[in-house]
Amino acid sequence: MNTKRLFDLTFSALGLIILSPFLLMIFLCIVFESGRPIIYRQKRLGKDWKEIMLYKFRTMNSQKTEDGLSCSPKNDKRITHVGKYLRRYKLDELPQLFNVLRGDMSFVGPRPELPKFVEYYSDIYKEILKIKPGITDLASIKFRDESSLLDCEAVDVEKVYLTKILPQKLEYSKIYLKKQGFFYDLKLIFKTIYTVIFK
């Protein structure tokens, strides 16, 4: 077991234990506001082109409204009141600790994308998918408020994401591939926490 996997396994397990009361509180808030399901599941592509099931807390009125989407505008009317806060502070991503514990993902790595988006940039993803995707990466930090960039009813949101935002994210993924390492990962984890809390 390498250092990165040991770190992921240890801290994902600790995180789930320590945060369990908080996770339960989020669970109850979602149930009281909009019922079930609590967890939103979506198929993404992981290391070696393996299909994985990504977990998030549901932030829209129904999982069906989220199916097929990897992005949504900031003022999307389908987003619940609880969902707005979960998205603002990235708390909807916490269930991905299970992904890390299972070994589908790492704490740090390029964000996993929908198969149809990966296919569009398949040549670039040949290199990116040689490593595990992560909960956070350079792109997650740089595009902290991604939804605000999609806040426009007059355009095709998915097209904007695919042609304008995703290419920039892929460039950040290439940078990570060159710089990846234990201490660089720690730096990105602390930078992510700082960005979420203070920005």
pLDDT digits (tens, 9 = 90+) for 30-77: 999 988 899 999 999 999 999 999 999 999 986 555 554 556 666 677
Q: Is the model's pLDDT at 117 over the cut of 80?
A: yes
> What is the C-alpha radius of gyration for the chain, rounded to an integer number of angstroms?
16
Residues 132-168 pLDDT 10s: 999 999 999 988 766 666 655 546 778 888 888 999 9
Distance of alpha carbon 52 from alpha carbon 114, whole angstroms: 10
Listed in sequence order, the DSSP H helices in 1-40 are 3-18, 20-34
Mean pLDDT of 102-122: 95
Domain ranges of the chain: 3-198
pLDDT at residue 160, as a whole number = 84
Contacts of 9 (CB under 8 A, 6+ apart): 1, 100, 101
Long-range pairs for 74-79: beta carbons < 8 A, 24 or more residues apart: 74/145, 74/147, 74/148, 74/150, 74/151, 75/151, 76/147
Q: Tell how far CA 72 is from the center of its chain.
A: 13
Distance of alpha carbon 15 from alpha carbon 9, whole angstroms: 10
pLDDT at residue 62, as a whole number = 67
Q: Is the pTM of this model over 0.85?
A: yes
